[in-house]
Amino acid sequence: MRILITNDDGIFAPGLAALVGVARQFGEVKIVAPDRERSACGHSMTMREPLRVKEYDFDGLEAYQVNGVPVDCVNVGLTICWPDGCDLVLSGINNGPNLGFDVTYSGTVAGAMEGCINGIRSISLSMAVFADGAPFHFETGAAWLSEHWERLMTLQLPPRTFLNINVPAIASPELNGTMFVPMGKRVYEDRVERRDDPWGRPYYWQGGVVIVDHREENTDVWAVSNGHASITPITLDWTAHELLPSLTTQFGSRASHA
Ligand code: MN
C-alpha cells in the first residue's frame, strides 16, 4: 500500500510522527508536509509564488518539507513521491479538534479533501483536546488508528467522499468506542477582538471562545465530548440537493432543475 502523509502543523509536529509511526506498519510511507505550522489555512493553495521543496530525513523515510499549505503538499507529493498514484492520503494527527463547521477552516481536513479530489482514499485525523495546555494524547490516536486500520481501509466509500476522524485526547482505556456521526455545530463568541497598537491605532485579532453545544446529540461534537472517537464521512458535493425542486418552484416560470 502506497501512502502519502501530510498535516498542517508542520513537518516537525509530534502528531505527524505519531501518524507516520502507525502508517509505516501497514505500507510504504512518504511524507510531504509544510515547513512550519499552517493551521486554519483551510483548503487554500499557493498560486502566486513558487513552492520550494526540501528533502528531509524522516526517520529513514522519504520526506519533503514545503513552503506551502497542505493542499500544496498533497499535490507536490503526488507529483514527486507517487507519480503513478497512491492508495491512501492521511492528514494529521492534528493538535486539536476539527469538528463541526471548523472543518471548513481546517488545513488538516483540507489535506484529506485534496487527496479525495485526486480520487484517493483519504482520511484526516485530529486529537480533540479542549483545554489549553492539556496533553494531546497522540498515542491514543495512534493506537486507535492502528486498531481500526483494516476496517478503515476496507470501508465502502462512494467517490468524492473522505473521512474526518476526531479522537478524544484522553488515555486509551478511557475511550468509549467509535461513532459514525454528522457534523455538529461549533460556534464562537467574541470572534474578533479589537486592540490598540502602541501608536493607538486599532488592530483586530481573530480567535474567540468556542461555544460547544453538547445538547445536540449524536454529532461529532457530542461524540468526542462523551469519550467516543467520531468518524464523519464528508462529501465534496456541497449542493443542498433537497432544495432544488423547491427553489425552482419559488423562482418561477423560467427556471428548471435537472
Ligand atoms: Mn493544525
Q: What is the CATH number of the domain that holds 146?
A: 3.40.1210.10
Q: So what's the pLDDT on residue 225?
A: 93
Report yes or no on 111 lying in a domain. Answer: yes
Distance (angstroms) between ligand 1 centre and the Cα of 243 equals 34
Distance (angstroms) between ligand 1 centre and the Cα of 232 equals 18
Q: Is the dihedral of CA 104, 158, 123, 125 positive or negative?
A: positive
Report yes or no on 198 lying in a domain. Answer: no
Report yes or no on 220 lying in a domain. Answer: yes
Distance (angstroms) between ligand 1 centre and the Cα of 93 equals 8
Q: Look at residue 155 and tell me whether its pLDDT is greater than 80.
A: yes
Q: Give the pLDDT confidence of 88-146 residue by residue, as tens digits.
A: 999 999 999 999 999 999 999 999 999 999 999 999 999 999 888 999 999 999 999 99
Stronger pLDDT, 185 or 145, i.e. the higher one: 145
Q: Look at residue 164 and tell me whether its pLDDT is greater than 80.
A: yes
d(CA 97, CA 170): 13
**pTM as predicted:** 0.95
**Number of domains present in the structure of the chain:** 1
Report yes or no on 193 lying in a domain. Answer: no
pLDDT band, residue 213 (cuts 50/70/90): low
The DSSP 8-state label assigned to residue 7 in this structure reads: -
Report yes or no on 256 lying in a domain. Answer: no
End-to-end Cα, the chain, rounded Å: 40
Q: So what's the pLDDT on residue 128?
A: 97
Report yes or no on 107 lying in a domain. Answer: yes
Report yes or no on 195 lying in a domain. Answer: no
Domain limits for position 37: 2-184+215-251
Quote the strand ranges of 95-176, DSSP E. Answer: 121-128, 161-168
Angle of helix 70-80 versus helix 107-117 axis, rounded to 10: 40
Report yes or no on 202 lying in a domain. Answer: no
Distance (angstroms) between ligand 1 centre and the Cα of 179 equals 23
Q: Look at residue 36 and tell me whether its pLDDT is greater than 70.
A: yes
